[in-house]
A and B are shown apart, each in its own frame.
Chain A
Amino acid sequence: MESVQERCTKRMGMNQFSLESVMFLHGLSATFSVVSAVIIASMISRGHLQAKSLRELKTFSILLVVFSFATNITGTYGYLPYRLSSPDSPKSLILKTEPFAHEILFETMEYLGLIGPIWSVVIAWMIIYNGERAATDSGLRRILLLLTILFATWTVAVAFTGIVPTMIAPVG
């Protein structure tokens, strides 16, 4: 008889390789989200931007949105096999060995992680809508800098809450 995990993976068209690849992309897009946020913060804090730099800033803000959504979409893909009720699912294994990693860390990531795409869209919208003012208007610049630096810090913190359960029982 097929296990719950096998049934789930079959129904969703998952195989081990695709699951591994998607979870790798999850980590990769989270890392690139942080790098994109650092780039945006670096550009905004310059104070003024030429036309070429402004185009680059807008491009990086769109990339931030792409990476942020990619992080959540790939995370959702791995979420299903993670939470299976079978005794060999990562969640069951973690609850048996280190319940803290699931009950506190993973649960935190699960909810806090949802803010990421919305947050990135806010940053991108502010940059694209305001154009050069995003770098020249000191009030706007300060808000954008704060939003972007907080986004990078928040992503690193949420990544930590995801890495610890992964180190105990990886999904892929």
Chain B
Amino acid sequence: MSAPLYNLIVVGERARLGKAPIQVDRYLENVLRGNSTRCYIYQLTALFTGVFLVALRGDPLSSIFTNQVILMKWILLGTLMSMLSVVHFNIQPKIDELLLQVHGESVPEDIASKLLPLRTLRKKMATVCLFLVIITIILAVQVYTPVDQRLTLLLIVLAGLFSWRAYKKGAPRGWV
């Protein structure tokens, strides 16, 4: 959960900085590019430890596909991996190529105008990613003891509001 949240915070801080030397952008992109690889490792770890937990409990592995909550988590993880792949293999290389074209001390207007839609799309995808990760956590705590559906729905709405706030303002006061 922390990876998309802190990516949103860092990107929000960069936007607040306004026009800055190219080194700031290169530093930011290095951090974000590195996070993709970390995220793949976290996602695969979550997948295999989750399977291990099912086996450890003595449940058949088929319960991954017959238990609705685990199945939903499986689908969400697949969606997260796919979204991360779009960012890592499509959006990020395009941003990197644009930044490679910069030779001066700051980003020229024409390149900045091409960078903006790519960065906005990446930020929106990180917001959806954060939302899906929080839903996964909400589901994770009720795999074997489900809570009231209305409470789950309320938590999902709160997750949506938190993700939206992180997108807009970078969650300056955490949950508040």
Asked whether A24 lies within 8 Å of B71 as measured between CB atoms, the reply is no
What is the CB-to-nearest-CB distance from B40 to chain A, in angstroms, rounded to a whole number?
10
What is the CB-to-nearest-CB distance from B130 to chain A, in angstroms, rounded to a whole number?
19
Asked whether A35 lies within 8 Å of B85 as measured between CB atoms, the reply is yes
Asked whether B90 lies within 8 Å of A20 as measured between CB atoms, the reply is no
> A-side binding surface: helix, strand, loop or mixed?
helix
Q: A34-B78, A35-B78 are in contact. Are A42 and B62 (CB under 8 A)?
A: no
How many residue pairs at the A-B interface have CB separations less than 8 Å? Answer: 57
Task: Tell yes or no: B66 within 8 A of A by CB.
Answer: yes
Residues of A with C-beta under 8 A to B51: 24
Asked whether A20 lies within 8 Å of B89 as measured between CB atoms, the reply is no
A110 to B171, CA, bound (A): 49
What is the CB-to-nearest-CB distance from B151 to chain A, in angstroms, rounded to a whole number?
24
Task: Tell yes or no: B164 within 8 A of A by CB.
Answer: no
Task: Tell yes or no: A9 within 8 A of B by CB.
Answer: no
Residues of A with C-beta under 8 A to B62: 20, 23-24, 166, 170-172
User: B90 contacts which of A46, A163, A172 (Cβ < 8 Å)?
Assistant: A46
Q: A39-B85, A43-B90 are in contact. Are A172 and B61 (CB under 8 A)?
A: yes
Asked whether A170 lies within 8 Å of B94 as measured between CB atoms, the reply is no
A35 to B86, CA, bound (A): 10
Asked whether A20 lies within 8 Å of B60 as measured between CB atoms, the reply is yes
Q: Which of A34, A42, A171 has the most CB of B within 10 A?
A: A42
Asked whether B60 lies within 8 Å of A170 as measured between CB atoms, the reply is yes
A53 to B90, CA, bound (A): 11
A42 to B86, CA, bound (A): 5
User: A42 contacts which of B61, B74, B90 (Cβ < 8 Å)?
Assistant: B90
Task: Tell yes or no: B146 within 8 A of A by CB.
Answer: no
Asked whether A42 lies within 8 Å of B85 as measured between CB atoms, the reply is yes
Task: Tell yes or no: A45 within 8 A of B by CB.
Answer: yes
Task: Tell yes or no: A117 within 8 A of B by CB.
Answer: no
Task: Tell yes or no: B82 within 8 A of A by CB.
Answer: yes
Please, what's the 1-or-0 string for A14-28, where 1 marks a CB less than 8 Å from any CB in chain B? 001000110110010
Task: Tell yes or no: B81 within 8 A of A by CB.
Answer: yes
Asked whether B86 lies within 8 Å of A170 as measured between CB atoms, the reply is no
Task: Tell yes or no: A38 within 8 A of B by CB.
Answer: yes
Task: Tell yes or no: B64 within 8 A of A by CB.
Answer: yes
Residues of B with C-beta under 8 A to A172: 60-62
Please, what's the 1-or-0 string for B84-106, where 1 marks a CB less than 8 Å from any CB in chain A? 01101110011000000000000
Which positions in B face A, CB cutoff 8 Å? 51, 60-62, 64-66, 68, 71, 74, 78, 81-82, 85-86, 88-90, 93-94
Excluding A20-B61, A38-B86, A163-B71, 11 further A-B contacts by CB distance (< 8 Å) are A16-B60, A20-B62, A24-B51, A34-B78, A35-B82, A35-B85, A42-B88, A46-B89, A46-B94, A166-B62, A172-B62
**Closest 6 A/B residue pairs (Cβ):** A170-B62, A42-B90, A42-B89, A172-B62, A24-B61, A38-B82
Mind listing 20 A-B residue pairs with CB under 8 Å? A16-B60, A23-B61, A23-B62, A24-B61, A31-B74, A31-B78, A34-B82, A35-B81, A38-B85, A39-B89, A42-B85, A42-B88, A42-B89, A42-B90, A45-B90, A46-B89, A167-B66, A167-B71, A170-B60, A170-B62
